[in-house]
Structure 1
């Protein structure tokens, strides 16, 4: 392309707790823009960044959080609040093969919440073999199944849901912009305690068996006070900045970095 030693700038995707298998490539970038103290600490310990090659800017997606939150693109006719089920695509961590049908059954017979099923978008990639038509058969007046709309990605669901149910998706941290009850599903019975890859599982009840699902949903609001302090703490560690202004901070960091290059 005729470029001679271009500067490489990385804007991080997501802000979850898990190790990602291409993480080692971070050290190849001249500047890495990071969401907050948590990722900065982890990357420094791994030798991937230094103070000179990184800037903490927050999470640019949050600049549209309030606007998205006010948009109700998928209302339910019964006007009840909805729970969001957001399973990840990783086969060894994905809760949907065990819990999906049970969840839909619980919400179709309950009276408190509707349910939005919005899996990680990669679940629909060919290699992961989840079939859209199979999921869409679960759709009902109380269950909305999203298999590919912009709402899966633009915070429509994470900003509006009254309850989050998931496993290891980093969207839990988008949901925590407003602390609310959450439940984590662990059908593989992973020994997650004290594992930094599962920090977010300290923010709500962790369920291993289908029989515990309905009671956990019914008690989620009443038990939220037990988890709110850790939710606020982990959100601050993950992002740290005020909810707005991340895009401007990112732009300023890039301009500052480029103007100092000799």
Structure 2
């Protein structure tokens, strides 16, 4: 059966080229009579509401910020905002260590010096502390270890035993890592390097209980102690691991930290 369709004429004739915009809109009642609509039946899906969109954008921004903070360049920059100026403490120095005049370098000369005894001085191994003490803050410093075959770096609590041979363990108040090529006092963690290591940065967050170590040149992680519980003053700690007949005689150097902008 043939179906017929009747085309309805527009309610008003409008010339398509007309510039009378008001007349054009009046030709379409559905457009020019919004008051006739039942707005109660019109709604916006809650997922498209401004509050929901704003929340999604906020979550996205937080995620992006978290990702950005994990980028090596960003992490190093943030740590360097907490850089501290350190000098070696001669009152804590083992008898075979020699400190430079500026207090920034120390090396083992493999010859005992006649040094005055002090409750602060280490008596067993080639250990030394920085003069500066820290509590309740974040701090960051960088150390050059280039040319050394063995070393230990980190932080220690003030009350560590300096006169007896003890393990350099977290239990005994040492949060340290070490590069060791021969039998000597073992660091809390012994590291095996996959890349040449010339400079190490140490970052401590006293409140959060974190001690982290990074390769400064590659800006890569080396190791982190987490969940630490600090109750005393902390001191930056250094051990040359001995002279080893001249094969480990390069100085350990506290280097200047580049300023962040």
TM-score band (shorter)? under 0.3
Q: Which of 1 and 2 has greater Rg?
A: 2
The structure, 1 or 2, with the larger RCO (C-alpha pairs under 8 Å, 6+ apart) is 1
If the length of structure 1 is used for normalisation, what is the TM-score? 0.24
Task: Identify, as 1 or 2, the structure richer in helix.
Answer: 1
Task: Identify, as 1 or 2, the structure richer in strand.
Answer: 2
